[in-house]
């Protein structure tokens, strides 16, 4: 009886190393070349340190002022309550909407209004700048809006014509009909 540890058969070991190399090569190829890159980076993220600023084939939605016009809704859940912001962006550069706070099963609507402006960053990113002229009394003294008028801005990425991701504050705004 020998004291030497039993060696892994070279056939299985070699096959596993070869298979790992093929998988790694295939992964890098998908993540760096071709139309699968956007899907790969969005869903897997491995080897995706830089998202190129090129349109995704088939995605015809580009940043424009017209993209923002209409009704948008944001829902934020925090602990025992949730907030919904429903905002109508008008063609004349004004907006109006209401903020609904749900702390129980009922919500209370609070109106707000102001002006808006879009600044294009790239084909799928923009900065939305809002100037609130009126808003709920609950906002008074808030560090982000200590008094009216107050300004707010965030960077968005267009996901499609009905969804835009707020990159600054980490939420998705949904278009409402």
Each residue's pLDDT tens digit, 86-122: 999 999 999 999 988 887 667 788 899 999 999 999 8
pTM to 2 decimal places: 0.63
Q: Count up the domains in the chain and report the number.
A: 2
Does one domain contain both 119 and 169? yes
Higher pLDDT, 19 or 66: 66
Question: Does residue 111 lie in a domain region?
Answer: yes
pLDDT score of 83 = 84
Does one domain contain both 39 and 69? no
152-171 pLDDT, tens digit each: 899 999 998 899 999 998 88
pLDDT score of 105 = 67
| Residues sharing a CB contact under 8 Å with residue 61, sequence separation 6 or more, in sequence order | 67, 124, 158, 160, 161
Question: Does residue 153 lie in a domain region?
Answer: yes
Does one domain contain both 92 and 138? yes
pLDDT of 173 over the 70 cut: yes
Does one domain contain both 94 and 164? yes
CB 109 within 8 A of CB 142: no
Average pLDDT over residues 144-155: 84
pLDDT score of 119 = 93
Question: Does residue 90 lie in a domain region?
Answer: yes
Question: What is the pLDDT of the chain when averaged over all its residues?
Answer: 76
Higher pLDDT, 164 or 52: 164
Q: CA–CA distance from 162 to each of 88, 106, 173, 175 (Å)?
A: 14, 27, 8, 5
- Structural domain boundaries, residue 39: 10-43
Question: Does residue 91 lie in a domain region?
Answer: yes
Q: How far is CA 167 from the centre of its chain?
A: 5
Does one domain contain both 86 and 32? no
Does one domain contain both 38 and 82? no
Burial class (CB in 10 A: 0-12, 13-18, 19+), 87: buried
- 101 strand-pairing partners: 83, 108
Does one domain contain both 172 and 92? yes
With tokens 């209004």, the residue in question is 113
Average pLDDT over residues 2-22: 62
pLDDT of 26 over the 60 cut: no
Question: Does residue 49 lie in a domain region?
Answer: no
Question: Does residue 1 lie in a domain region?
Answer: no
Read off the CATH number of the domain in which 111 is found. Answer: 2.40.128
With tokens 């790992």, the residue in question is 20
Does one domain contain both 38 and 69? no
Question: Does residue 5 lie in a domain region?
Answer: no
């Amino acid at each position: 009886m020998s004291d030497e540890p039993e060696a892994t058969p070279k056939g299985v070991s070699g096959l596993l190393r070869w298979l790992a190399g093929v998988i790694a090569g295939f992964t890098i190829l998908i993540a760096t070349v071709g139309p699968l890159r956007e899907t790969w980076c969005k869903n897997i993220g491995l080897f995706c340190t830089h998202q190129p600023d090129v349109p995704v084939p088939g995605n015809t939605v580009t940043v424009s002022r017209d993209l923002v016009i209409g009704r948008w809704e944001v829902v934020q859940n925090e602990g025992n309550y949730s907030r919904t912001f429903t905002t109508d962006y008008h063609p004349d550069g004004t907006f109006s909407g209401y903020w609904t706070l749900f702390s129980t099963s009922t919500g209370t609507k609070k109106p707000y209004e102001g002006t808006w402006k879009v600044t294009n960053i790239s084909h799928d990113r923009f900065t939305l700048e809002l100037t609130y002229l009126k808003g709920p009394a609950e906002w008074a003294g808030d560090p982000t809006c200590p008094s009216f008028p107050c300004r707010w801005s965030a960077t968005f990425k267009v996901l499609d014509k009905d969804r835009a991701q707020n990159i600054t504050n980490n939420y998705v705004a949904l278009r409402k009909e």
